[in-house]
Amino acid sequence: MQHGKYRFIVGFLAAPLALYALFVIWPFIQSIYYSLTDWSGLSPEFGFVGFDNYSRMLDDEIFWKSLQHSLTLAVVLPLVTVGLALFFAFMLNVGGRRRRGAAIAGVRGSGFYKIVYFFPQVLSIAIVALLFQFAYNPNSGAINSGLKLVGLGSIQPDWLGDPNLALICVMAVLVWSTVGFFVVLFSAGMASIPRDFYEAALLDGANRFTTFFKITLPLLWDTVQSGWIYMGILALGAESFAVVQIMTVGPNGGGPDYSTVVLPLYVYQKAFRDGQAAYATTIGVALLLVTLAFAAIVMKLGRRERLEF
């Protein structure tokens, strides 16, 4: 099969590789270079300034705020989302009434639940954010008027307008839109765990609570870990950008009083609102480091002996 092999390889790889190099690889390399310049993005001229942008970043209060918020998202979101999803998936697969001859059973209609839970996953995050922005509206939004309907009219929070609540509101939307995906993912993993494991454990007197921690979780560990990383990258990246930029107050989001600004949003604002392209790439490099560090830490903490079954 050597005949014309290299011509074929080059012919097939040229177009995808060229496109990828031009639109993905090259901008990444450029951005690291630009972070060492004073380029505004508005004019083609710029000079080399060394690490000035980086020292400026370390003194930038808003940078620290966005870093803090991004880290909060990266820690809290995977914890809540993966936790909830594991709980729901376990209920779906093991929470059912026992049928004759089976040690464990899924609940009735588990297929239906999985279809419904997955709904938000197929919607654009922009649509989800718009919907919840309206639900959070303090005067006529669905949540506050719902509270009035059930007689809790005295509790009327400002939601996105309250600096103490805004970031929590943002996180709730991200949890709402991602839990279903992980429920389906973990369910598939749980369904492939052999039933005899549960039977043996239940015979030995274990309750279902114990079986979750002693059987399900260890056997599902690899999936949980990649789900954790996936969710963390999502929390640090485009999804949190979209939700914060669309939902929160202030010019281009991030408010009130910078209480919801996150790193990707700050990059966007510096580059395309304030005309500070070089400084924006500096913050972007910080975001890249945070993302890589997050993945490395989860891999390190999550390392266990792989269980084969």
Partner 1 sequence: MKTTDTATPGVETPGPSGGPGPAVAKTAAPTPPKESGKEGAVLNVFSHGVLVIWAIMVVMPLLWAVMTSFKTDRAIFTSPWSLPDGLHFENWSRAWSQAHMSDYFMNTIVVVGGSLIGTLLLGSMAAYVLARFDFPGNRFIYFLFIGGMSFPIILALVPLFYVMQNMALLNTPHGLILVYIAYSLPFTVFFLTAFFRTLPSSVAEAAFVDGASHTRTFFQVMLPMARPGLISVGIFNFLGQWNQYLLPTVLNTEQDEKVLSQGLVQLATSQGYKGDWSGLFAGLVMAMLPVLAAYIIFQRQVVAGLTAGAVK
- Whole-number Å distance between alpha carbons of 8 and 14: 10
- Confirm or reject binding of residue 213 to partner 1 (CB under 8 A): no
- Confirm or reject binding of residue 287 to partner 1 (CB under 8 A): yes
User: Minimum Å distance from CB 80 to partner 1?
Assistant: 13
Residue 190 tokens, joined: 């749980």
Residue 32 tokens, joined: 């690291």
Residue from 40, 138, 288, 302 that binds partner 1 (CB under 8 A)?
288
Residue position matching structure tokens 């654009």: 124
* Distant-in-sequence, close-in-space partners of 291: CB < 8 Å, separation ≥ 6: 233, 236, 237
Residue from 43, 50, 59, 207 that binds partner 1 (CB under 8 A)?
207
User: Minimum Å distance from CB 3 to partner 1?
Assistant: 8
Tally Cβ neighbours within 10 Å of residue 280. Answer: 25
Residue from 34, 63, 159, 198 that binds partner 1 (CB under 8 A)?
34
User: Minimum Å distance from CB 162 to partner 1?
Assistant: 20
Closest to partner 1 by CB, 96 vs 163, is: 96
The CA distances from residue 304 to 86, 88, 185, in Å, are 19, 24, 21
The residue length of the chain stands at 309
User: Minimum Å distance from CB 202 to partner 1?
Assistant: 9
The CA distances from residue 156 to 137, 142, 301, in Å, are 10, 11, 41
- Confirm or reject binding of residue 109 to partner 1 (CB under 8 A): yes
Residue from 73, 242, 244, 261 that binds partner 1 (CB under 8 A)?
242
Q: Residue 289 is inside which H or E element, if any?
A: helix 277-302
Residue from 15, 101, 154, 305 that binds partner 1 (CB under 8 A)?
15
Interface segment toward partner 1; rule CB under 8 A; list 121-129, 154-162, 163-171, 211-219: 121-129
- Confirm or reject binding of residue 110 to partner 1 (CB under 8 A): yes
Interface segment toward partner 1; rule CB under 8 A; list 52-60, 74-82, 160-168, 181-189: 181-189
- Whole-number Å distance between alpha carbons of 281 and 267: 7
Q: Judged by CB under 8 A, how many residues of this single chain contact partner 1?
A: 108
Interface segment toward partner 1; rule CB under 8 A; list 17-25, 45-53, 54-62, 73-81: 17-25
Number of C-alpha atoms within 13 angstroms, CB side, residue 297?
A: 11
